[in-house]
A and B are shown apart, each in its own frame.
Chain A
Amino acid sequence: MNNYLIQYTLNLADNALILGHRNSEWCGHGPVLEQDIAITNISLDLIGQARNFYQYAAQLKADGSTEDTFAYLRTENEFKNCLLVEQPNNDWAKTILRQFLFSAYQFYLYTELQNSKNDQLAAIAEKSLKEVTYHLRWSSEWVVRLGDGTEESQQRIKKAINELWMYTGELFIAADYEIKMTENGYGVDPATLKSKWKEKVKTVFEEATLAFPVDSKIQTGGKIGEHSEHLDKILADLQMLQRTYPGCEW
């Protein structure tokens, strides 16, 4: 059972770390200064959340693992993040849409996880939810601005929807560790979050004058360690220093 709890915790941590890392790639490159600061602050929140989950996973594993060994020394197929968060930034519209789709998921997930029978997961969820509420509002407003903005901005966010939609289905398909953790009251069955998430996305898309996509094919695998080639590139960047100079500190 402990092994499932570790995997469940790592899934939460990896989602936050990888999206945090993706957002951090905007640092110094944001379209305007204020939004550069916004996306990197969101990045900071996510990496902070990841640290809390990793620290807990390390405590559970009790084999000398630390938050750093989880982040820097695991290989691609040991990461349990969903495919959505590893998708490349491309342009601002795609980054915004990815953030919105994921924040909406995180918002409903953490709302439920606050009631977990596991005190530490409940505490991290409660803490993180306050930050996620802010991310959700900020990214929703940007979806509306882009969708209901100029012809160019609308065309870009529509393209982003086409590219990202197939990765949203995976969020709501439970991995075996999620099923086990739902059974003992520690975790949340992601399938139960889908209708609320859909409702939220629909409302924001409507305000943004964007059509809600029809269900398309679903890409899965990330949650069980089968990733797209994009994760490789993220890890090459993220882990380069620790791989080159093992144990280095500054």
Chain B
Amino acid sequence: MIETKNITVDQVWTLLENVMDPEVPVLSVIDLGIIRKVEIYSEIEKPPLGGLGVYITPTYSGCPAMDVISMNIKMELLANGFKNVKIIQVLSPAWTTDWMSEEGKRKLKEYGIAPPNPKQQVCKDELFAPNEAVQCPHCNSYHNHRISEFGSTACKALYQCDDCKEPFDYFKCH
């Protein structure tokens, strides 16, 4: 068991790199940008908590992966000797794909999912707006079209490349 006084925040961040998104298993929770803060509580300061608090924010309100992610974070830290791990959900500021790391975007593309475009193309309420220019993760062509605005998970849309003909997921700007 690790004593609270010996824990550093950096240690915790390093361990969190091992916790993957169950639905996009190449991305860690750090890559996703959903870890907002790690706090070490001394037992004197916050007696009901002790241990440490990990603040996470959901990607989408209804993302079913969030419960699994919370549990996996707890398991990872417990397995490494941390006790009294508390996961705290924060909603504001709301998560945006801008918080995804560059490393995460690279890993997504390698995995076959087109990474989110920069924020200026975020969804507006105007109708029948032209599709976002998305790069095919297989052949790098921009010549493709959207098949479905909603995809296999809340965070993705489905595209098909007009050049290599492969369908692919696009991680939507949000």
Interface residues of chain A, those whose CB is within 8 Å of chain B, are: 33-34, 37-38, 41-49, 51-52, 107, 119-120, 122-124, 126-131, 133-134, 136-138, 140-141, 144, 204, 207
Contact = CB atoms under 8 A, between A and B. Distances in A.
Nearest to B128: A141
30 contacts: A34-B149, A34-B158, A43-B62, A44-B63, A45-B61, A45-B154, A46-B62, A48-B58, A48-B60, A48-B61, A48-B63, A52-B61, A52-B91, A119-B92, A123-B90, A123-B92, A123-B94, A126-B91, A126-B93, A130-B94, A130-B123, A131-B61, A133-B124, A136-B125, A137-B124, A137-B129, A140-B125, A141-B128, A144-B128, A207-B127
Nearest to A134: B123
B149 A38 contact: yes
Contacts of A136: 125
A141 B150 CA distance: 14
A186 B63 CA distance: 27
B138 interface: no
B154 A124 contact: no
Contacts of B154: 41, 44-45
Contact of A37 (B91, B124, B126, B150): B150
Interface string B126-143: 111100000000000000
B151 A37 contact: yes
Given A137-B127, A144-B127, A45 B94 contact: no
Given A41-B154, A107-B125, A130 B174 contact: yes
B8 interface: no
Interface residues of B, number: 28
Q: Which 3 pairs, one residue from A and one from B, show the smallest C-beta to C-beta distance? A: A48-B62, A48-B61, A123-B92
Contacts of B64: 44
B123 A137 contact: yes
Contacts of B92: 119, 122-123, 126-127
A133 B123 contact: yes
Contact of B148 (A38, A43, A46, A137): A38
B100 to A, nearest CB: 15
A44 to B, nearest CB: 4
A28 to B, nearest CB: 15
Contact of A34 (B63, B94, B148, B174): B148
Given A137-B126, A140-B125, A124 B150 contact: no
B60 A141 contact: no
Contacts of A130: 94, 123, 174
A131 B158 CA distance: 18
B147 interface: yes
